[in-house]
Amino acid sequence: MGESGPVRPPTNQLPEKCMSDELTFEQAAHSLTDYLNDELPRTVLEVSRKLGDAPDAQSAKVLGIDPSGVDLSITGENELVKFVRIDFPHPAADPNDMRGMLMGLVDSVDEADGVARVATARVETPRASRYLRALCNHFDRKVQAEYDDNEGHIHFPFGECELRAEADALLITVSADSEVRMARTRHVVADHLLRFAQKETLQVDWVTV
């Protein structure tokens, strides 16, 4: 999981969706738990090793998330399993705050390795320009984005996204300097694109360059 491949309309919400004020703590926690276990298993393992006092961990899984922290199941050598609680700096004020502190844990163990990773996708649609502007306009409220009707560039803290609208397709190029950041960039872009496409079914097939 978390590698190149097709992205279709998700059955579970991804982290960016947890920013919605309409989500409860329980809904956001369920969403984030699925995302980490399904898309970022290697990061969960690194969190366990570095923050869960389990340097010899062989595998790990998020059991649950609540406003005060995250619970992990960690399998070490000889298949011994232990359960670890990692507390947040303070109790989350709302689901957005909980998401932010959780992703802070992820970022703290995600070190850039200096290797540029690039992936592209060609999304067939006659509404490419409309989606380009919708994506850039949405993210421009949170991060830096430059765009016109035909081209756009979004600067995320964890990666970059370039967009180009053609008559029959939206061309997307994303880049990042770690596996985790690449996974986050791909999914944030694809997830929002699929949500904006309410009147047609899009498919995002990522190809690693």
Q: What is the pLDDT of residues 62-74, one digit of tens each?
A: 999 999 999 999 9
- From 66, 83, 109, the end of a domain falls on 109
- What's the CATH number where 101 sits? 3.20.180.10
pLDDT band (50, 70, 90) for residue 142: confident
Question: Same domain, yes or no, for 133 and 160?
Answer: yes
Question: Same domain, yes or no, for 70 and 144?
Answer: no
60: phi then psi, degrees, rounded to nearest 5:
-155, 155
Question: Same domain, yes or no, for 81 and 146?
Answer: no
Question: Same domain, yes or no, for 26 and 89?
Answer: yes
Q: What is the pLDDT of residue 5?
A: 46
Contact 28, 98 (CB under 8 A): yes
Query: Average pLDDT of 79-99?
Result: 94
Contact 172, 121 (CB under 8 A): yes
Query: Average pLDDT of 55-84?
Result: 95
Is 12 contained in some domain? Answer: no
CA-closest candidate to residue 143, choices 155, 161, 152: 155
Question: Same domain, yes or no, for 105 and 146?
Answer: no
Contact 35, 184 (CB under 8 A): no
- From 75, 109, 143, the end of a domain falls on 109
Task: List CB contacts of 133: < 8 A, sequence separation 6 or more.
Answer: 147, 149, 152
Give CA–CA dist 95/5, Å, rounded. Answer: 29
Is pLDDT at 43 greater than 50 in this prediction?
yes
The overall longest dimension of the chain from CA atoms, in Å, is 58
CA-closest candidate to residue 75, choices 45, 47, 50: 45
Is pLDDT at 21 greater than 80 in this prediction?
no
Question: Same domain, yes or no, for 105 and 175?
Answer: no
Query: Average pLDDT of 118-124?
Result: 98
Give how many domains the chain has, as a whole number. Answer: 2
Q: Give the domain range for residue 44.
A: 17-109
Give the containing element (helix H, strand E) for 154: strand 151-156
Is pLDDT at 119 greater than 90 in this prediction?
yes
Query: Average pLDDT of 146-169?
Result: 96
- The structure's pTM equals 0.68
Q: What is the pLDDT of residue 22?
A: 66
Is 44 contained in some domain? Answer: yes
Query: Average pLDDT of 108-118?
Result: 84
